[in-house]
């Protein structure tokens, strides 16, 4: 669905970013995706986030040891607003205007802490609560993002989740078209799949 308002929350184009462990040996893999999904009075829509930059520091011992501990030490994410791509120029322009991209060109997330909620006995799956500050259109709110991590057969990790945002919480008026007869809903959902592997 790369051509739709599909992959502000995840949250991010050409996907880029580095994941740094003790030896700078992890990176975000190109198959990672972040999307924005919403509704309107006409139809549901999905946009792809085609670009993001990130800094993630892992505790390498937590990832590779016999006992799985919280592996995420720090995380920041920056999404250029104009990397959100619906495949429709008019919709893109209305989205960028609603998000005040000229004044606030980036959506940003800065982690404050991550809590390991649970892991399975084989140490291949974990659940995390990631707390941090999400900034959209110049307004910041503290959020808690539930994340599921699974270890892949090739030794990489897959982190998945989704987060629902009310645009009004960030002083964003939902985009509209046709003199207001078509209007996006206030709520958007940000699903993401982030793959992390050794470089």
Residue in 197, 173, 143 with CA at minimum distance from that of residue 11: 143
Q: What is the pLDDT of residues 93-111, one digit of tens each?
A: 989 999 999 999 999 999 9
CA 4 to chain centre: 17
Instruction: List for the chain the helix, strand, coil content (%; round to 5).
Output: 10, 55, 35
What DSSP assignment string belongs to 133-190? EEEETTEEEEEEEEEEEEE-TTS-EEEEEEEEEEGGGGT-PPPEETTTTEEEEEEEEE
164 vs 64, higher pLDDT? 164
Q: pLDDT value at position 178?
A: 53
What DSSP assignment string belongs to 92-148? HHHHHHHTTTTT--EEEEEEEEEEEEEE-TTSSEEEEEEEEEEEETTEEEEEEEEEE
Paired residues of 80 in beta bridges: 106
Q: What separation in angstroms does the CA of 37 have from each of 46, 47, 196? A: 4, 6, 24
As assigned by CATH, the class of the 18-198 domain is mainly beta
Tokens encoding 17: 């970013």
**Ramachandran assignment for 123, one of left (phi > 0), alpha (psi -120 to 50 degrees), beta (any other):** left
pTM, rounded to two decimals: 0.78
Look at 21-30, 43-52, 132-141 and tell me which has the smallest mean pLDDT: 21-30
pLDDT at residue 19 tops 50: no
Q: pLDDT value at position 83?
A: 95
Q: What is the pLDDT of residues 142-164, one digit of tens each?
A: 999 999 988 888 878 889 999 99
CA distance 43 to 131: 32
Residue appearing with tokens 């809903």: 185
Look at 18-22, 27-31, 46-50, 68-72 and tell me which has the smallest mean pLDDT: 18-22
CA distance 195 to 186: 29
Q: pLDDT value at position 176?
A: 64
Residue in 89, 84, 88 with CA at minimum distance from that of residue 105: 84
């Amino acid at each position: 669905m790369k051509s739709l308002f599909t992959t502000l929350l995840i949250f991010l184009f050409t996907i880029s970013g580095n994941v740094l462990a003790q030896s700078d040996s992890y990176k975000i893999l190109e198959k990672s995706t972040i999307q924005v999904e919403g509704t309107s009075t006409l139809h549901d829509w999905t946009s792809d986030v085609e670009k993001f930059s990130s800094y993630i520091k892992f505790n390498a011992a937590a990832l590779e040891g016999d006992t799985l501990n919280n592996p995420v030490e720090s995380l920041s994410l920056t999404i250029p607003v104009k990397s959100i791509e619906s495949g429709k120029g008019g919709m893109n322009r209305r989205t960028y205007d609603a998000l005040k991209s000229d004044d606030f060109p980036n959506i940003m997330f800065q982690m404050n802490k991550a809590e390991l909620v649970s892991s399975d006995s084989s140490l291949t799956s974990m659940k995390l609560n990631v707390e941090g500050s999400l900034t959209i259109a110049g307004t910041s709110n503290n959020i808690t993002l539930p994340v599921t991590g699974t270890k892949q057969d090739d030794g990489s990790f897959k982190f998945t989740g989704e987060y629902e945002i009310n645009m009004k919480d960030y002083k964003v008026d939902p985009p509209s078209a046709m003199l207001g007869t078509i209007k996006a809903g206030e709520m958007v959902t940000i699903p993401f799949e982030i793959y992390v592997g050794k470089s």
